[in-house]
Amino acid sequence: METIKIELRQAELGYKKSVVLKNLNVELLTNSTVCLLGKNGAGKTTLFKSILGILPTLSGSININGKNIAHWNRNELARHIAYIPQAKTLPFPFSVFEVVLFGRTAYLSQFSSPSKKDKIIADACLEQLNIMYLKNRIFTHLSGGEQQMVIIARALAQQPSFLIMDEPTSSLDFGNQIKIIQEVNNLRNEKMGIFMATHNPDHAFMCDADVLVVHEGTLWKQGYCNDILTNETLKQIYGVDIDVIDLKHNDKERKICIPAYKS
C-alpha cells in the first residue's frame, strides 16, 4: 500500500490576524500513530481544524502528498482524512447503521442516496470493530463507550488514509478507554495513520507512538515517546511533578506515568 504523507511546512495557524501556532514543520505518515500533547489552550484544536481544512493557514502550507489542501474540495479531503471528535451524542435518534452510513457522504453526489456498495462498506466497518450487534440500536440509547466505537466505525466508512482523533477517550470509563486505545493500535496495524490528541501521556506509551508537544505557541518537542516524555518535559507541560518509570509485566516492557506525590 502506498505511503501517504501529511506535511506542514513553515505553517502559521490561527484565526485571521491572531496567531496561535507558528513555525510548524511536521510530517505525518500512514502506518504510524502520533499523539498530540499540550495543556488546555495550547493550540491542539487549532492544529486539527487547520489540517481538516476548516481553518486556512495564515502562512506556510499543509500538503497531502505534496498537494496543498487549500486546493482540495471538502469531499476530496474527507476521502483522505476522517475526524473523530470527543465522545458526544447526536441530536436525533438515528440508528447505529444510519450513523455509520453517514461516513459514505464523501462519496455521494449532492442528491444521490447510498448505494448497495455503501451499505456493504458500512456493515463491514461494524464487523471490523465487533459491534455488528449494535446495528439496529438507536445511537442515543447507547453507552458512551458504545457511541465512541460507532463514531470510529463512521470514520472508517470514509475509507480514509488518516484518522484525526480529538481526545477519543474523554469522559469514558477506564475499561472503555482501554478498548479505544486497543482499537487505535489495531487500526495502525492496518496501515492507517493516526493523529490523536490526549491529555494522558500514558496513551502515547500504550500506543508506542511518536509525540508532538505544542507549548507556548509553537511545536516545542517531537519524536518517539520514550525519548521525549521525561519527568522534566511533563512537568513543563502540566505544571506538576510526574515520574516516568519502566514497567515490566508478562515479559513486556513499557513506561508509565505516576504523579509524584509529596507527603
Q: Which domains does the chain have, with CATH numbers?
A: 1-80+160-230 (3.40.50.300), 94-158 (no CATH)
Judge whether 59 and 11 are in contact, CB under 8 Å.
yes
Tell me which H or E stretch contains 25.
strand 18-29
Q: What is the four-CA torsion angle of 241, 244, 250, 251, rounded to 10 degrees? A: -170
| Site of grid cell 507556548 | 216
Mean pLDDT by runs of 10 across the 263 residues of the chain is: 89 92 94 94 92 94 94 91 81 91 89 91 94 95 90 94 92 87 86 92 94 94 95 92 88 87 67
Task: Indicate the DSSP class of residue 95.
Answer: B
Q: Which residue has the cell 463507550?
A: 145
Rounded to whole angstroms, the Cα distance separating 229 from 223 reads 9
Write phi, then psi, for 199 (nearest 5 degrees). Answer: -100, 0
- Tens-place pLDDT, residues 115-164: 999 999 999 999 999 999 999 999 999 998 899 999 999 999 999 999 99
